[in-house]
Structure formats: C-alpha cells, structure tokens
C-alpha cells in the first residue's frame, strides 16, 4: 500500500467563532477535536473588530500553537476562524496552510476551505492572464481573487455572487475584521454545522468540535446557504439553492 493511501482522507477541518470571549482558546480546542481531518498544517485568524492577527504553520494543532507559549494570549478579540489542512490540491508547503489572508481595497479578508473546486484551474488561468499573482498552489485562493474582483466587489451580495462562480464540493469560512461567514456549496457535499455558545455562535465541520467547546448544536448550514455573523445582528443568512438563479435573504 502506498503512503498516500495510508493517510486518513477527511479533507480538512473548519472551525469559527463570533461574539465570544477568548476566541483563540476556543478555536484551538475546536481544531484539536478536528485534528483527524487534517495533519499537515494548522492555523487561525482572530480579530477584535479592528486588528486582524494570524498564526499558522505546518504541523499538528498541539505543536503549531504552543511553539510560542504566549501564542494564544496574543490573539485577542471576539471572532475568528481556524483550519486544519489535508492537501486535496496543492503541495504540502507552508504557503498553502490556511486560513489564507489577503489585503483587499476594502480591508483584510481571510478564508478557510474544505473541498475541491472543479473549475478553479480555469478561473485561475483567467486571472493570471489578466495579471493577477497567486501566492499558493491551492484551489482555495481563487475565492480571494473573486471577492477582490471589482465586478463582484461593487455589487450587492458580493460574497454570494462570488461563491456562485465556483463549481465542486466545498464548505468555506470567510472573515473580515468584524464578520464571520459560513458557506456550503449548493448541493451540500461538504459538512458545516452551527452552534450557540452563550451569546455567540460557533461554526464547525463536525459536531464533535461543538461539544469540545461546550456549544449547543443548532443546525447544519443548508446547501447553498451563506450564514453571516456581524453586528448588530448575531447572524444573517442568504440562500442560493440548486437550480435557483435568484438570491434571497432572511434573518435568524
């Protein structure tokens, strides 16, 4: 049996929080519970509503966030996202460890991805022909370019429209300095759950991670749905279901 066949194939783990205290400690605990989904690298991005801070590296959760004893204490805020990586596309190298973070004209965006995008190569080629520079070899990075693209940035429901360009199986956590978004592809091929923790919310690839941090399971993110946590409302969702062209919105 080849070494590649011996690896557990769970294809990355996502964990995010919004409206909580000590987000870095919660993300650490959540990623630890999801470690079986990816062992190549781990990372988290945390914000206090103004400043965005991140730590990521190759290795296991218990190693990445303990190399600096003050690592978690430095990541202060009330929202954040985390990722454990198993490479489905792109080589195993430091640049490919997520969350990916980029500075757009409207501020910092971070993304964490589980799944495969079947049209990423075509989209990537189009942006490269137009002069765009990619920092990683993962298919995940294409979403950052779509979000930054003026044809999406200047239109309502920008993230939903950008996600609608993607094909394949995916779950995403996206983050700005004051917002966390959770999204699934229109067919719901990749899992993503929502939990409640005090007055805040938690998003996770598996409910075992919700249990790890003491969050109450609410429901799964629906296929084709984007759930957004931003002030002053705790959460907001936009729907884009299979076979539908229009976008609708409701509030939790």
Residues involved in catalysis: 12
Task: Catalogue the E-assigned strands of the chain.
Answer: 13-18, 41-47, 52-58, 79-85, 100-104, 107-117, 168-175, 180-184, 193-197, 200-204, 216-220, 225-229, 236-239, 248-251
Burial 96-112, CB ≥16 within 10 A → b, else e: bbbbbbeeeeeebbbbb
Alpha helices (H) in 149-224, listed in sequence order: 150-153, 158-163, 207-213
Show the tokens assigned to 96. Answer: 């490919």
Question: Cα(16)–Cα(8) distance, rounded to whole angstroms?
Answer: 23
96 vs 87: CA distance, rounded Å: 9
């Amino acid at each position: 049996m080849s070494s590649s066949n011996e690896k557990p194939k769970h294809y990355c783990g996502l964990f995010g929080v919004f409206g909580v205290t000590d987000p870095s400690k919660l993300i650490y605990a959540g990623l630890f519970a999801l470690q079986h989904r990816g062992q190549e690298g781990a990372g988290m991005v945390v914000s206090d509503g103004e400043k965005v801070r991140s730590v990521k590296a190759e290795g296991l959760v218990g190693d990445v966030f303990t190399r600096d004893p003050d690592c978690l204490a430095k990541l202060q805020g009330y929202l954040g996202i985390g990722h454990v990586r198993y490479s489905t596309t792109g080589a195993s190298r430091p640049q490919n460890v997520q969350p990916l973070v980029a500075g757009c004209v409207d501020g910092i965006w971070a993304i964490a991805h589980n799944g495969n995008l079947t049209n990423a190569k075509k989209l990537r080629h189009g942006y490269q022909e137009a002069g765009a520079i990619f920092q990683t070899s993962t298919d995940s990075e294409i979403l950052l370019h779509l979000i930054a693209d003026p044809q999406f940035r200047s239109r309502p429901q920008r993230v939903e429209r950008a996600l609608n360009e993607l094909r394949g199986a995916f779950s995403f956590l996206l983050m700005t300095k004051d917002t966390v978004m959770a999204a699934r592809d229109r067919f719901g091929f990749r899992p993503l759950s929502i939990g409640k923790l005090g007055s805040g919310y938690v998003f996770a690839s598996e409910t075992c991670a919700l249990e790890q941090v003491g969050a109450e399971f609410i429901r799964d993110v629906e296929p084709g749905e984007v759930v957004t946590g931003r002030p002053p409302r705790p959460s907001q969702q936009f729907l884009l279901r299979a076979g539908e062209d229009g976008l609708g919105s409701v509030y939790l």
